Structure 1
């Protein structure tokens, strides 16, 4: 089949995260604006490459006041850092799935991150467009990327957990 270029279909994709709140609950959110490009041969995912970005201002946690705080300089500083980016550097087989390593950039800080990557398959939509699907998850320390704002709790501990779980569900369309 050979390598093809696939463009992420944002309407059918999801970039989601979750983080502990007050050490007892979990807050989930998503970025509603994303774009990405995948070069892949469905017969050999280890040769694929992924790159993408999300608009930090598009953060949505279902609470506008919290979203405004997350866009501020305390967290993503969306005005000065309008995007989070990822570019893969290596994909290796891991049993039936894959490990995808690459460079994640948040707030101007770039660090290597490894995702558990699942190839969901390919198919054609009713209009004849070829589609490809992937899911990926990882956990990062937000402090590693300069997201250090927090508040102490009276009972001990902190308001916002350090570990952030990231989940991606990607559908992309093959380009002519």
Structure 2
């Protein structure tokens, strides 16, 4: 299984690094959080449950309304350390051709070379580089986002929504996440001027994540 091998590679890479203490907090208002006993149970390997997760986005259209969309085919993994969250990691692979805004014509335009150019770039990839705990159930994840062959860092604010055992006896964990990016960094630059001034599509894009993941046995 490809994602299982990603777990092994990530864990091997971490184990090969010499142990070090986390960097001291910097900046005004930064807090240090000790290991929360309730978080130790989240440690382990997790796979996104596509049927119960959403990877979405929102953009301003014609400067007056927000258009939302999502991708319907993706894989994701989490390698969590509840005692030392900074040692956790995550990765996501999104199939660009599955973009869905509920309007077929708009979806075809997003798939074209004006935007995602799905024939040349069939996937969007994300890999975390840093995770820090910033609240009792809040985390900040920095990582590398690759779109159309261009890679830039993004920061995702995450809310841990809980760990449960579902009706089928499966352990399930949840996170909500948000990030704001400028699409032009990834050569997503198509636009049209409005007669009244302004642009058809906003440069800033809101990314939205509603993740349910199941524990890997």
Residues 1:55 and 1:77: Cα distance change in structure 2 (over 3 Å): same
Report what 2:164 is aligned to.
123
CA-based RMSD of the aligned residues comes to 1.3
Report what 1:41 is aligned to.
81
TM-score normalised over the length of structure 2: 0.78
How many Å apart are 1:45 and its aligned residue? 3.3
TM-score normalised over the length of structure 1: 0.95
Unaligned regions of 5+ residues in structure 1, if any? none
How many Å apart are 1:5 and its aligned residue? 1.0
Partner SS, residue 118 of structure 2: coil
Residue 77 (str. 1) matches residue 147 (str. 2):
no
Q: Mapping of 1:9-48 within 5 angstroms?
A: 9-48=49-88
Structure 1 Cα separation of the partners of residues 114 and 120 of structure 2: 12
Unaligned regions of 5+ residues in structure 2, if any? 1-39
How many Å apart are 1:42 and its aligned residue? 3.9
The structure where strand makes up a greater share of residues is: 1
CA contact (8 A) 1:81 1:107 kept: yes
Residue 134 (str. 1) matches residue 178 (str. 2):
no
Structure with higher RCO (Cα < 8 A, 6+ apart): 1
Structure 1 Cα separation of the partners of residues 187 and 70 of structure 2: 20
Larger Rg: 2
How many Å apart are 1:130 and its aligned residue? 1.1
How many Å apart are 1:41 and its aligned residue? 3.0
The structure where helix makes up a greater share of residues is: 2
Runs of 4+, deviation exceeding 6 Å: none
CA contact (8 A) 1:42 1:121 kept: no
Residues 1:121 and 1:47: Cα distance change in structure 2 (over 3 Å): farther
Partner SS, residue 86 of structure 2: strand
How many Å apart are 1:47 and its aligned residue? 2.5
Match of 2:189 among 143, 148, 161: 148
